[in-house]
Structure 1
């Protein structure tokens, strides 16, 4: 009986160590991505010349084609006092660094659906506290774009109807796993819809 109890304690300690290491690694990756995002945004602001100022934001978006894994900007959620790095792509490697931008979705000024995803136990830990009317700001090299939450819903994890074209209307969709307090692989998704302000 003692051996069994000792074995359970050892397994518990090992699992806690693994979880702690993963959490630490995720925090480190997110911090590094945030540093990259701030540097990129500072450089894009400083490098704007008078001639470049004449180029409209619509033309700038045509040249904005980030590679998978690249840090592309910052998502601000004022009511949560959160600044999160936005990474191109939604694979585990990208989501480990911050909020993932779904590769086949749009960016601001492209008049279509923008999809951002993140883990409920890291970057989107408090997402369930948001209410209709709360705002988000996407800071990108070609500008800052504000969106206001208009709706939310919970769907099955395999519901692919969420990601779709909304052209010519721009819409920000933010997704994370649900329920927020669930341990393990969650079976649902929490979806927030926001419109440009």
Structure 2
């Protein structure tokens, strides 16, 4: 009798954990949308109503932790992914997280984004040096070109160091197909090339 109670308890606990984790996985997986759902055109049209400097100042305001404030657009992957301020599990379940102590998009410094390798960044390994990445906010489009791809230890803090120019650093766990806590990080370093 006791064995049956323990078995039923463990079965229901396992089922609960499977459903909860599965829903988190699917939430992140389906947060990646095709690019045509991001209206870069409307951003450009809206900018005719005010000067670029006014929009740039609006972009520099720090969002609240957990707030969705931008979209990461990856043309080569035909992907647009929501960007949330913060990198707690709550933000990473829904999209890409922006490490708070790093720069805002467009600043002459290092903006660092992070995401899960099995959901939002499952195709990150398909990108090459020379590919574009854009961060689209309500006010501006910040475009970067990938300059370097690195694989570093998970404890390597050089990923978040300040930079002398507008830089976008994108990081995820590596290897991509690793089961459990991955020992390394896959890092894209991109230089700001154009601000629309």
TM-score range, shorter chain: 0.7 to 0.9
1:182 equivalenced with 2:178 (yes/no): yes
Per the alignment, residue 157 of structure 1 pairs with 154
Q: 74, 92, 96: which one pairs with 2:93?
A: 96
Structure 1 stretches of 4+ with a deviation exceeding 2 A read 11-21, 23-34, 44-50, 57-62
Aligned pairs for 1:16-165 (under 5 A) are 18-19=17-18, 21-28=20-27, 53-54=50-51, 56=53, 57-62=55-60, 64-165=61-162
Unaligned segments of structure 2, at least 5 residues: none
Deviations 1:8-46 (Å, cap 9, x if unpaired)? xxx799757734542323433676798xxx89x89x959
SS in 1 for 2:130: coil
Q: Distance in 2 between matches of 1:31 and 1:135?
A: 22
Per the alignment, residue 193 of structure 1 pairs with 189
Report how many aligned residue pairs link the two structures: 182
Q: TM-score, normalised by structure 1?
A: 0.78
Q: Distance in 2 between matches of 1:49 and 1:156?
A: 41
Q: Report if the CA contact (8 A) 1:30-1:85 is conserved.
A: no
Q: TM-score, normalised by structure 2?
A: 0.78
Q: Distance in 2 between matches of 1:78 and 1:45?
A: 17
C-alpha displacement of 1:128? 1.0
C-alpha displacement of 1:109? 2.3
Q: Distance in 2 between matches of 1:91 and 1:182?
A: 21
SS in 2 for 1:94: helix
Structure 1 residues 12 and 196: alpha-carbon distance in aligned structure 2, compared to 1, 3 A threshold: farther
Deviations 1:73-129 (Å, cap 9, x if unpaired)? 111111112111000001111111100001011122211001000000110011111
